[in-house]
Chains A and B, each alone.
Chain A
Amino acid sequence: MPGEIPTTLLAELTHRCPLHCPYCSNPLDLIRAESELATDDWKRVFTQARELGVLQLGLSGGEPLLRKDLEELAAHARREGLYSTLVTSGLGLTRVRAERLKEAGLEHIQISIQDSDPDVAERIAGVRSVKHKQTAAAIVRELGFAFTVNVVLHRANLDRLGEIIDLAADLGADRIELANTQYYGWGLLNRSALMPTREQVERSREVAERAIQRYRGRMQITYVLPDYYEPYPKACYGGWGKLYLVVTPNGMVLPCHGATQITTMQFDEVRSHSLEWIWRESAAFRAFRGDSWMKEPCRSCPRKATDFGGCRCQAFALTGDAANTDPVCTLSPLRRVVDEALTEPSREMPEYSYRSIAGEPVRA
């Protein structure tokens, strides 16, 4: 056995983005344009990823359309046999670029929607964007790409979940991914503005379940629950270093897009090492592989094969030790830090700290 074989690579081609969403999954410390990998670096990474067993490639960001070599990278990925998804805000997806991407062999495009209410959507994105997204969606559909709408859910939009799902259907989506906000980086910084109430979460779960039935055969709906309201943690990408890897704009390789916030860890990068070496041999990828690193209560817990102790990044962010049980788990002795966060929605909603690449977060 050659060990674990990854299936998915998320390529964060750039951290530059026209949107300023306060829950962005990029780290607080955003990579600047001058540090980004060159075209040939990315091509080498894609080739090495396929050789390692990767099947799915996410061309993501920031806004990946800000990379002028996106079409070239998409064509290279297709030649290597990867199935690529462009993860975009839709801004900058002109007909010319979409046609070039189609020619390059790109198959699937994901466009983010912030809300069904255009005013709230633009308040969340921090920029005029709704019309651009509608135009982009029409182009994606017309050119025959597989089309997914993705939506991050939180306190300000969760009550319109039904309308949001209907909007995705009107835009012609094949799929909609509804993911409650995960509280890392920007999301954690804005947690008290984003955290929904328990009532919101319960209502939205019912709305999602009904919509899944109603849209069956027309539009696939995936609904990711907010883990803070769950009794057990999520199985983060099937476990650390098992199926998934992320390459950041400057070439750092991570087991999870939030991993740089584990400030006690060092991550290797693709300009110094092969992807295969990083995946198999690097200290970072080996740190939490398997279960020998686990402490109690995980070590003796039958659920360790189901959720792998939850998320290492969340354990670090909330408890200060990445080897602790994810405190979302009700078996964690530190679950109180999550329960305390669940009292946040009962207080007045603070303003968002918007994502910004230039120094300090921008206040509304």
Chain B
Amino acid sequence: MIVASDSVPKLWRMARLQFDPVRQRPVLLYPEGAVLLNDTGAAILELCNGSHTVAQIVTILNDRYQADVSSDVTEYLSLMAERELIRAG
């Protein structure tokens, strides 16, 4: 349901995105856990702020990367939703 194109994904309120200077990469921190991210993952999650639909996130990132990233975005969001790190807004 979260990955339907008109749903509005939101990062779990207890998860925090930050850059880790030690590992030189973005990380997602949450209770008792951390996910090391790549730049694309971080770009997707930054847009999961409750004000963009999945379709809008895809448009923004297609534009930024000048490529069709729609299946990457959907797949990534499904994975993060499965881990309950993003919720439907």
Contact = CB atoms under 8 A, between A and B. Distances in A.
Contacts of B23: 5, 53
Interface in B1-55: 13-14, 16, 18, 20, 22-23, 27, 29-34
Contacts of A81: 18, 20
Given A53-B23, A217-B84, A148 B18 contact: no
Interface residues of A, number: 21
Given A107-B14, A146-B14, A174-B14, A55 B30 contact: no
Query: Among the interface residues A7, A53, A55, which one has the most CB atoms of the partner chain B within 10 A?
Result: A55
Interface in A166-221: 174-175, 177, 217, 220
Query: Among the interface residues A53, A81, A144, which one has the most CB atoms of the partner chain B within 10 A?
Result: A81
A55 B27 contact: yes
A274 to B, nearest CB: 15
B88 to A, nearest CB: 9
Given A53-B22, A107-B14, A107-B16, A174 B31 contact: yes
A220 B82 CA distance: 12
A85 B31 contact: yes
Contacts of A56: 29, 32-34
Contact of B14 (A55, A108, A217): A108
B34 A83 contact: yes
A175 B85 CA distance: 13
Nearest to A50: B22
Given A146-B14, A220-B84, A85 B22 contact: no
A85 B30 CA distance: 10
Nearest to B84: A220
A13 B20 CA distance: 25
B72 to A, nearest CB: 25
Nearest to A58: B32
Contact of B20 (A55, A108, A146, A148): A55
A351 interface: no
A56 B32 CA distance: 7
Query: Among the interface residues A5, A51, A52, A83, which one has the most CB atoms of the partner chain B within 10 A?
Result: A83
Contact of B29 (A5, A55, A174): A55
A83 B30 CA distance: 7
Interface string A212-254: 0000010010000000000000000000000000000000000
Nearest to A56: B34
A308 to B, nearest CB: 20
Contacts of A108: 14, 31-32
Contact of A55 (B13, B31, B34, B84): B34
Given A83-B16, A146-B14, A5 B22 contact: yes
25 contacts: A5-B22, A5-B23, A7-B34, A50-B22, A52-B22, A53-B22, A53-B23, A55-B27, A55-B29, A56-B32, A81-B20, A83-B16, A83-B34, A85-B32, A107-B14, A107-B31, A108-B14, A144-B13, A146-B31, A148-B32, A174-B14, A174-B31, A175-B31, A177-B32, A220-B84
Given A5-B22, A83-B31, 6 more contacts: A53-B22, A55-B20, A55-B29, A83-B30, A85-B31, A108-B14
Interface of B: 13-14, 16, 18, 20, 22-23, 27, 29-34, 84
